[in-house]
Amino acid sequence: MRKEEKSIFIAVIILVAVIATVAIIGEITLGRNDNIIQGEAEATLFRVSSKVPGRISHILVREGDTVQAGDTVAILNAPDVTAKFIQVKAIEQAAEALNEKVGQGARPQQKLAAYEMWQKAVAGANIYKKTYERIKRLHEQGVVAEQKLDEAEAEYKAAQATARAAKAEYELALAGAEIEDKEMASAKVREAQGAVEEVDSYVNETYLVAVQKGEVCDIFPCTGELVGSGAPIINIAYLDEMWVSFNIRENNLKDYNIGERSIAYIPALDTECEVEFYYMKDLGTYAVWRATKASGEYDIKTFEVRARPLKRVEGLRPGMSVLIKKKK
């Protein structure tokens, strides 16, 4: 055998040995992995955001802090909202003043003036009455002409009409505005109060509070940054209720039915816990598909299966790996 042929033969043997070694290692590794299904611990995240845009004035927490429901975690500076609140508050005060004025009616001085005018008209009517009665007696005695009697009677009736008009003006001053005017003024007050409550809710939105107790896990903006309406500012993880999410191919789903339990191992804590499967959903178009055979009889779809620890696991954190053994 020539030297070149011998070198090629040795190279082929070495290549075959390497392929065999890799195949054996892969078989061992895949065999082990096929017996284990790996999942990830997760927790509910509450996103803290604001309905109004503004600039971050203060961030009162740090990542890792524990907060309670209702704790203020950040403060926004929103001068537009503050200016709007001042405007609607002034409108409310003006509407209340107008409503009070309409409800009270005329001023005391106006009521007194109307009363005095009425009394003056009554006094004038009484004088014209006496004059009319005197001229009437003289006319009956033939001393005064009938023309004088008619003039006195006309003046007396005019004085009576003036007295009635003055009385009506006084009663109007006492009664105040019409019922329609009062209802309109009252409606204006309610409208202004509604506007104040609306803007006040926006002012409250500048104080960002935690809606649930938990641990601060993400802080997105920094102090001084401008954030838009609804932009996420802080994420809070509720660690009292955690679950584990597994991605399981559908040919293995028969072993993980909802309501069944299994023993899970947490490498980070070097501990085991019992979990119960409670949720199953296909991953849709984002699922990992795998052919059953090289010829491809059908593709196996992947499902998300969730399990909940039956007891609280101290130290379990979101993102930790959780392993379960595949059933034989």
Q: What is the pLDDT of residue 236?
A: 94
Q: Residue 42: what are its φ and ψ, rounded to 5°?
A: -135, 160
Per-residue confidence of the chain (328 residues) as pLDDT tens digits? 555 555 665 665 766 665 666 555 444 444 444 578 899 999 989 999 988 899 999 999 999 999 999 999 999 998 888 888 888 888 888 888 877 776 666 567 766 777 778 787 888 788 878 887 888 887 777 777 888 778 888 887 888 888 888 877 777 666 665 677 777 878 888 888 888 888 888 888 889 999 889 999 999 999 989 998 888 999 999 988 899 999 988 888 888 889 999 999 999 999 999 999 999 988 865 445 455 455 456 677 889 999 999 998 998 999 999 999 876 5
Q: What is the pLDDT of residue 158?
A: 83
Q: What is the pLDDT of residue 305?
A: 93
Residues 99/171, Cβ–Cβ less than 8 Å = no
Among 184, 221, 287, residue whose Cα is nearest residue 59: 221
In Å, the largest CA–CA distance within the chain is 178
Q: Determine if the pTM surpasses 0.85.
A: no
Q: What is the pLDDT of residue 105?
A: 61
| Edge-to-edge strands, sheet with 226-227 | 207-209, 72-77, 54-59, 226-227
Amino acid at 257: N
Q: What is the pLDDT of residue 286?
A: 47
Burial (0-12, 13-18, 19+ Cβ within 10 Å), 317 = middle
Question: How far, in Å, CA of 313 to CA of 198, rounded?
Answer: 44
